[in-house]
Structure 1
Amino acid sequence: MAGGRIRDEDIALVRERTSIADVISETVTLKSAGGGNLKGLCPFHDEKTPSFTVAPARNVFFCHGCGQGGDAIKFLMDAEHLTFIESVERLAGRAGIQLRYIETGAAPIRQQHGQKQRLVAAHAAAVEFYASQLGTAGARPAREFLAQRGFDRAAAERYDCGFAPEGWDHLTRHLRQKGFTAPELITAGLAREARSGSLIDRFRGRLLWPIRELTGDVIGFGARKLFDGDDGPKYLNTPETPIYKKSHVLYGVDQAKREIAKQGRAVIVEGYTDVMACHLAGVPTAVATCGTAFGADHIGVLRRLLMDTDAIAGEIIFTFDGDAAGQKAALRAFEEDQRFVGRTFIAVSPDNMDPCDLRLAKGDMAVRDLVARREPLVDFALRQVISRFDLDTVDGRVEAMRRAAPLVAKIKDREKRPEYVRKLAGDLGMEIEPVQRAVLAAAATPDKGAAGPTPSAARATPAAPAGDSPQAMVEREALKLAIQVPVLAGPMFDALGPEVYQHPVHLVVRQAVAEAGGAAAATGGVVWIEQIRDACPDLAAQALVGELAVEPLRLDGDADPRYVSITLARLEWGSVTARIANLKSKVQRVNPVANKDEYFALFGELLSLEQHARALREQAAGGL
């Protein structure tokens, strides 16, 4: 992925030149659904009846079952778990489009992009070299290490395990012969400069695991010490480089990403062999950090895979050792827990064994059972906090309550808090009231990340029409016209403001159309649809835009100006009749004798609205 922003006009060109049907057909079998649309089984959720719709004319897709939708860029992001830029770059390569990057600082982004490709290529060559060395006589300790932990040759090949020879510059000389420069090898973290000034290998005499990013590209290595003469750390990782950021990297994520997305679950383990053991034992969602603690950036990677949103909540399961360090890590994880929408759990082996040791001692089933026996992380955290205090004393119980109350107050699901208050009171042997007061006091201290209701949520709105009511249906049809055929809808659509929309989500989409520049200024197509979607402030509105983009219009044949006029007249008529009803109610409440001026003003406004309503009704009835 390049290090900067792609020019907007190039992104638009990629969207326009990409055939979404061709892209999706590589993953989904599509069949004609009538009206120019295609249908297939959704790749993002299990279903027996196809609800996944592709509209080739507008280059967008939408699933009526799970709500996923967007353009070809979004499809690759969801299906391949790529970033936005990675998706654009892949589609640009398919279409033969040369992307331009906005320059920042002294070096153009294009140069940075080219550098990444060289560093990735160097790592790919290094993987081949190290893998070829694993079968040599000098690599016997590496093979024995793997075998002693239950990994055969097939497992080593599946994870591209390799061996770095003990010599000073075996890899360096190999890569230099392939055309890589000394600065490139140093920048990649594959080699370093010795005191003598010569170039030497970073990894020597070690068992290696390639570390891949989501795309599958190797960006670094983890290396385990094998020989007593090695005075380095037990595990040595690639240093920070332009492509390797340890706070963002999760080992095994390239193999686990599809199952994480499919199951809505991620299992966090502590080491490379634990990932291998879990995968081979039937827990394919396991990943591990690489030489650093699990943190906020790792959470960002997992949230993307889990689709961790207010609407979709996955499971995150931590498998820490039961020792003091593992307990500390678990409590630190609970602090980070609030960054997830989903539910967090912990799985600790009764014998304090990690997944690799557990598989060796008790087999694959024991590893699967470990994950199955998970408990909510908040339960574990509360138990660990309480265990520090002597609950046989008053001081111990009160102090335990003070320390545990903030944990209960942090529970995201507020409906669960009263139950945990009762549980905490029972565990402490205290009455509920003081525990409840302590939790409420802790909750009253706002988090920095807390936010009030959004303006749209705080706004008082009238009762929305049912989704299948005549008013809601005509609002939906009007929005479809603006999204699908803005050239036809144009000024007529824009002339009707947000006040004619009664359904709250329809209103948000209508405002998004305005923020995207209005239908009159649009030419249609996937770029226009994505502009509207990007202008939507919430997931519900974004999903509706995707749905309306593929939903056929309610007429036989193609839309024309007459159909637009009729539809928008029906839309405005619904709004006007609602205003008439409100005005009639107000007129009836005014005393025509005591408040003559107000009465006649309201009455005159009522007559004018009724006349306008009759004209709209005649326009709306034209030919329908």
Structure 2
Amino acid sequence: MSGRIKEEDVAHVRERSPIDEVIADYVQLKSAGGGQKKGLCPFHDEKSPSFHVTPSKGFFHCFGCQASGDVIAFLMKIDHLSFTETIERLADRMGYQLRYEQGNFTPAPAGNRSRLIAANALAAKFYQEQLNTSPLAAHARELMTKRGFDKGACETFGVGYAPDEWDGLTKFLREQGFTIDELETAGLSKMGQRGPIDKFRNRLTWPIRDISGDVVGFGARKLASDEEDQGPKYLNTSETPIYKKSQVLYGLDMAKKEIAKKRQVVIVEGYTDVMAAQLAGITTAVATCGTAFGADHIRIIRRLLMDDDAFRGEVIFTFDGDAAGQKAAMRAFTEDQKFVTQTFVAVEPNGLDPCDLRQQKGDLALRDLIAKRVPLFEFAIRTELALHKLDSAEGRVNALNATAPLVAQIRDKSLRPEYTRLLAGWLGVEVETVSSAVAQGVKRQPQQSAPVVNGEEEAPQVQWRPNPQEPRLILEREVLKARLQMPSLISNWREIESGAFTHPAYIQLAQIIAAVDEQSSIEIEQISDENMRALFTELNVEPIRADGEVTGHYVESIVARLREVGISRAIAELKSSLQRLNPVENEQEYNQAFASLVALETTRRGLHDLALRSI
């Protein structure tokens, strides 16, 4: 990168980057009618979609958390990019060559996202070439072959080999113009006793990509024996400005479209498990990157599984059959409460992970494992029951005491009675006994400390912002939306009385509109106040409440109605003033006020008739 991007190039990139297509890389969008699209907000947790996109205007707005803006603002916010980095990414996306104000090359700062992405992309190619061509990578290729992956599979998933050298990658990237600071910041190099050395050496590597497909880090498996390499078996890139392991799912860039299409996601534990599942036909498989499946992962998955304002998909966890896998499944039970989807567990009885299962028994066996999934609630309860001797009275009592709280933790009240009956059958005791134990467990559940709406934390409200559902303000809101979205249909904006708008935010926006030419469109760059920019975007995105097509007659009617309401308020105030005036002592003032009242009444009646005729 060199210098400042030319303004005309910025405008070109903004105008030719369809906002719905860019956002679709992060959010599953559905038609909302009237040219609108909607989905689950990527910036806060929600169950019902309040995130709206208006492609014709180039804006997005969330009616839950108030995030809003254009395509540039979206990418800056979701990927934590600078303005310049965002323009460069959008330009790369459309294959457009940017021009800069200055001609001299100046290296970007070490933390610059585009530079870190470029370094990781080159590192991925370097590792792949090493695996394919280096004689020293023979043992790496042999291991992948033994695991059931040929050269084609390795190329599909970008598998590579970090050579058994101190600074092979570091030297290569330095020759490409990257600084030591950049390579350290990217997590590709680190300082050794005699200078910078490679972070990964003598390891198989997997490029970890974000949801948009950019390489942001690597997972690496050691190939040497424990005596030769005392490091961990699997080593991931340390957290960097572009890599946050709690916010990345390996394979999601490949699986996201299938996840949205099939409304299913399969969570596996390792990189080779993702490869095995994908190659076996389970095209919705993803994995966490060296961390437990957590709240950030849940938010990503929920956005992809939205369908027709509801979550109709399946989340299927696969765990190793060993104790660690059982523990992971039980931990998922507590996180599952945040899902609205149906959540299942698939554990191979002999303890085989998906990669081993495919290798030993073939693709069909792996597909069968997923097909035979069981509900997570059932798995959690049965896992606990397995720890007790159910053939004795004492064992059954202990098992009841351990499992009743699990049923009580199920937040979906409609499911509790069914699992109460199932638990009674598994234990061989009366349903009433289990119901009583579950009821006691429910009473002991901690109360929610944060405001909750429909099972989720309510998004914080911004005080300056008008409530979109406030009945007395709806008319003001509709007129503002019509002026912003269809300026050609309102030719008399300056005729609207100053008292027509009552909320401070609407008054301020109306004044901004009045400052431009009649019927002219307003660009967001013309608005300096951040609150007004947010409201401007919100009203541009929100559908107009018309029954059917928005016509000139409809817009004329709501403008007339707004003016009529405003004039009615002025009439009421004038009548109140007249009542306080003595017509004898204040004859001239009284007569002027009375004349104004008559004129206002005449105008009001005309507006009332116009509003009715225009409907």
The answer, yes or no, to whether TM exceeds 0.5 is yes
Q: Give the C-alpha shift of residue 497 in structure 1.
A: 8.4
Q: Give the C-alpha shift of residue 247 in structure 1.
A: 2.6
Aligned to 1:420: 419
- Change in CA separation of 1:362 and 1:223 when aligned onto 2, cut-off 3 Å: same
Distance 1:432 1:243 in 2: 53
Q: Give the C-alpha shift of residue 323 in structure 1.
A: 1.8
- 8 A contact 1:55–1:550 mirrored in 2: no
The alignment status of 1:621 with 2:612, answered yes or no, reads yes
Q: Give the unaligned 5+ runs of structure 2.
A: 1-8, 25-32, 41-51, 62-66, 101-107, 460-471, 568-601
Aligned to 1:224: 221
- 8 A contact 2:170–2:196 mirrored in 1: yes
Aligned to 2:206: 209
Aligned to 2:485: 484
- Change in CA separation of 1:535 and 1:286 when aligned onto 2, cut-off 3 Å: farther
Superposed CA deviations along residues 249-300 of structure 1, whole A, max 9, x for unmatched, are 3211221222223333221111110011111111122111222222233323
Superposed CA deviations along residues 102-132 of structure 1, whole A, max 9, x for unmatched, are xxxxxxxx95752x33332222221121111
TM-score normalised by structure 1 residue count: 0.67
- Change in CA separation of 1:296 and 1:15 when aligned onto 2, cut-off 3 Å: farther
- Change in CA separation of 1:365 and 1:406 when aligned onto 2, cut-off 3 Å: same
Aligned to 1:160: 158
**Partner AA of 1:266 in structure 2:** V
- Change in CA separation of 1:517 and 1:187 when aligned onto 2, cut-off 3 Å: same
Aligned to 2:301: 302
**Partner AA of 1:547 in structure 2:** P
The alignment status of 1:258 with 2:257, answered yes or no, reads yes
Aligned to 2:578: none
Q: How does 1:73-472 map to 2 (within 5 A)?
A: 73=71, 83=79, 90=86, 93-94=90-91, 111=109, 114=112, 116-134=113-131, 135-195=133-193, 197-228=194-225, 229-307=228-306, 311-444=310-443, 445-448=445-448, 451-453=451-453
Q: Give the C-alpha shift of residue 242 in structure 1.
A: 3.0
Q: Give the C-alpha shift of residue 362 in structure 1.
A: 2.5
Aligned to 1:597: none
Q: Secondary structure at the match of 2:245?
A: coil
**Partner AA of 1:340 in structure 2:** F
Distance 1:266 1:359 in 2: 19
- 8 A contact 1:321–1:352 mirrored in 2: yes
Distance 1:474 1:420 in 2: 49
Q: Give the C-alpha shift of residue 320 in structure 1.
A: 0.3
Distance 1:354 1:447 in 2: 38
Q: Give the C-alpha shift of residue 60 in structure 1.
A: 5.0
Distance 2:311 2:497 in 1: 34
Distance 1:232 1:292 in 2: 17
- Change in CA separation of 1:623 and 1:163 when aligned onto 2, cut-off 3 Å: closer
Percent identity (aligned): 44
- 8 A contact 1:149–1:360 mirrored in 2: yes
Distance 1:302 1:615 in 2: 55
Distance 1:405 1:376 in 2: 17
- Change in CA separation of 1:452 and 1:177 when aligned onto 2, cut-off 3 Å: closer
- Change in CA separation of 1:613 and 1:373 when aligned onto 2, cut-off 3 Å: farther
Q: How does 1:588-607 map to 2 (within 5 A)?
A: none
Superposed CA deviations along residues 347-379 of structure 1, whole A, max 9, x for unmatched, are 112332211112222322222222222211011
Q: Give the C-alpha shift of residue 399 in structure 1.
A: 2.6
- In angstroms, what is the RMSD of aligned CA positions? 5.1
- Change in CA separation of 1:387 and 1:495 when aligned onto 2, cut-off 3 Å: farther
Distance 1:309 1:377 in 2: 24
- Change in CA separation of 1:408 and 1:483 when aligned onto 2, cut-off 3 Å: farther
Q: Give the C-alpha shift of residue 147 in structure 1.
A: 1.0
Superposed CA deviations along residues 314-351 of structure 1, whole A, max 9, x for unmatched, are 42211001222111110011111123232221111233
- 8 A contact 2:59–2:540 mirrored in 1: no
TM-score normalised by structure 2 residue count: 0.68
Q: Which moved more, 1:375-384 or 1:443-452?
A: 443-452
Q: Secondary structure at the match of 2:414?
A: helix
Aligned to 2:575: none
- 8 A contact 1:73–1:84 mirrored in 2: no
**Partner AA of 2:280 in structure 1:** A
Q: Give the C-alpha shift of residue 205 in structure 1.
A: 1.6
Distance 1:257 1:87 in 2: 26
Distance 2:173 2:141 in 1: 24
Distance 1:413 1:111 in 2: 50
Distance 1:533 1:441 in 2: 51
Distance 1:429 1:83 in 2: 53
- 8 A contact 1:266–1:286 mirrored in 2: yes
**Partner AA of 1:165 in structure 2:** P
**Partner AA of 1:385 in structure 2:** E
- Change in CA separation of 1:532 and 1:571 when aligned onto 2, cut-off 3 Å: farther
**Partner AA of 2:551 in structure 1:** L
Distance 1:380 1:165 in 2: 43
Query: What is the count of residue pairs matched by the alignment?
Result: 512
Distance 1:520 1:153 in 2: 65
Distance 1:177 1:407 in 2: 58
Q: Give the unaligned 5+ runs of structure 1.
A: 1-12, 29-36, 45-51, 63-68, 99-109, 458-470, 499-510, 537-541, 574-610
- 8 A contact 1:71–1:526 mirrored in 2: no
**Partner AA of 2:115 in structure 1:** R
Q: Give the C-alpha shift of residue 431 in structure 1.
A: 2.1
- Change in CA separation of 1:18 and 1:170 when aligned onto 2, cut-off 3 Å: closer
**Partner AA of 2:382 in structure 1:** R
Distance 1:363 1:553 in 2: 56
Distance 2:407 2:422 in 1: 10
Aligned to 1:19: 15
Superposed CA deviations along residues 387-412 of structure 1, whole A, max 9, x for unmatched, are 21222333332332222222222223
- 8 A contact 1:308–1:341 mirrored in 2: no
